[in-house]
Chains A and B, each alone.
Chain A
Amino acid sequence: MILKHLIMRNQNNLWRLTCSILIIIGTAGACFGQNSILQNTHIRGFMEVDASYQNNKVAFGFGEQDLFITSQLNDRFSFLGESVFKYTPNSPTEFSVSIERAIVKYNYFGNNNLLLGKQHTPINFWNDTYHHGRVFFPTIERPLLFPANFIPLHTTGIAAEGHDLGKIRFGYNLLIGNGIDSNDIANNNKRVSITSAIYIKPVDNLKLGVSYYNDKISPGITEQGNSVKWPVYQQLFTGSISYFGKKFELLTEGTLALDKTDTTGTQRNWASYIYAGYRITDKFVPYVRLDNLQYASGEIYYKKNNTSAFLVGMRYYVDYLLVLKMEYQHLDTHISGKTYLVTFQIALGF
């Protein structure tokens, strides 16, 4: 009981300390604008409010409140930080703060940079572009391969990246970091994860990319809800096509996961989605998205919840940082069967 009380007190203190640090950073950010004699620091934020209807029930809620800080430390070094405040039922305050990105960037030559810290794994277009700013999402929520933890969203490590090189605007990213189920301060096994990605932008608004991810998943981890009994050697192959033109929008990505164990051999799992939208006016975009998750019968790492889903929705831009979206989604999952969901969202940036 005393121990529980102490833990709760410590968590409360941690919460207050974090809030204080963020307020100080925020104040500093506001003060140290471009006219300051100190470095340029900018602070921005994003949040969303949702309403949903499912199983004859209406529910309201707000999602993540995202604090985004960038600071140009000097001519070559810069910092990017992203902290998210979100509802967490098992926290004493029912809220928690998480560091989603904390990156020190060194621009060593032209469009080539070295990055150190916690970053969004550059495994696909969505994860490398939209991050936590739902105002930028083309749909209300991420594709279903994200909540299914099909790909590693974050990696803490070191990366070399380049962008918009040459006429075809070639880009690359090589990230070495802590693997799946590691924490932000240590790797959970001796093997580092490796992410390599390349892309080209042959014409304006079109981006084609592929990536490869390699890691060893240690026994005992419960990332997917199941406890893995044997080491799993995972390889992820991803392909992405994105086109966001004046009228037509298309984004499709697919990931093939090869999970190998000595006992089960190599299991092939597949996750993909396709999004398409058409801009009727400057402010109004109706869209559709199809999601598909298929797991091998002998898979032991992922939770085998074969899913197919489609959604139709519309997006309305009140302003460039204030977007309304409304969607109807129909899901067919192995675990829950057929369900539907109607969602309305106001997403904003500030």
Chain B
Amino acid sequence: MNMRANRKFQTVKNILAGILFTLCCLSVKAQQDTSLIVIGNTTGVPADIKMNELKAVFRGEKQRWKDGTKVVIAMIKTTTPLGNTISEKIYSMNGDEVRGFWAGISFAGKFDPPNVFNTEAEVEVFVSQNPGAIAILNKTILTSDVKTILVSGKKTL
């Protein structure tokens, strides 16, 4: 009797542990997804952009912003976890596929590949110094040198 109760307790404990683990994973993933923000240089990049337009920009389908400023894409390396998350979110590809995608576009002479950096701080500095530059980051604290771009009216992706 005691053994049966112990077994039941063990099973419930395992189920609860499983649920807790799943919730943790979902929470981490949700945190990764919802904390992505788009930043842009104060010149050229609009304050609000639609999601499909953002994807078009990051796919090299837009050479100039509406005011004529050249579109300059900055990205964190796609080999980093953040780079991979952005690749999935924007390109529906993994990091390796995104590099292949850009190699093809560049080779066809259609668009310059994105400027890539190791850290978010480097990306932010680059965006702040280059008119028309746009990037996706995973943080909310920013300097006043760049602006946060709303995507379809929302602050996060």
Contact = CB atoms under 8 A, between A and B. Distances in A.
A110 interface: yes
A277 interface: no
A11 interface: no
B103 A349 contact: yes
Contacts of B100: 317, 320-321
B18 to A, nearest CB: 29
Contact of A320 (B56, B62, B70, B96): B96
A62 B108 CA distance: 23
Interface string A305-317: 0000000000001
B115 A107 contact: no
B116 to A, nearest CB: 10
A103 B108 CA distance: 12
Interface stretch (A125-133, A207-215, A255-263, A285-293): A125-133
Interface residues of A, number: 35
B32 to A, nearest CB: 21
Contacts of A72: 112
Nearest to A165: B61
A128 B106 CA distance: 12
Contacts of A75: 70
B145 interface: no
A163 B104 contact: no
Given A129-B104, A129-B108, A133-B107, A282 B63 contact: no
A252 interface: no
Nearest to A164: B61
A131 B108 contact: yes
Contacts of B112: 40, 70, 72, 78
Contacts of A282: 94, 96-97
Nearest to A81: B109
B110 interface: yes
Nearest to B101: A320
A303 B108 CA distance: 30
B154 interface: no
Contact of A34 (B99, B106, B109, B115): B115
B139 interface: no
A131 B107 contact: yes
A68 B110 CA distance: 14
A320 B97 contact: yes
Contact of A107 (B63, B94, B97, B108): B63
A326 interface: no
A51 B68 CA distance: 50
A9 interface: no
Contacts of B110: 163
Contacts of A40: 112
B64 interface: yes
Contact of A163 (B61, B94, B107): B61
Interface in B55-90: 56, 61-64, 70
B11 interface: no
Contact of A246 (B61, B62, B92): B92
A110 B109 contact: no
Given A282-B94, A321-B103, A111 B109 contact: no
B64 A110 contact: yes
Nearest to A103: B109
A105 interface: yes
Top 10 closest pairs, chain A to chain B, by CB = A320-B100, A164-B61, A80-B109, A320-B99, A320-B96, A111-B63, A133-B107, A110-B64, A136-B104, A129-B108
Interface of B: 56, 61-64, 70, 92, 94, 96-97, 99-100, 103-104, 106-110, 112, 115
16 contacts: A34-B115, A68-B107, A70-B106, A110-B63, A111-B63, A131-B108, A133-B104, A136-B104, A163-B61, A246-B92, A317-B96, A317-B100, A320-B96, A320-B103, A321-B99, A349-B103
Given A68-B107, A105-B109, 18 more contacts: A40-B112, A44-B106, A46-B107, A70-B109, A70-B112, A101-B109, A107-B63, A107-B64, A110-B64, A136-B104, A136-B107, A163-B61, A163-B110, A164-B56, A282-B94, A319-B96, A320-B97, A321-B99
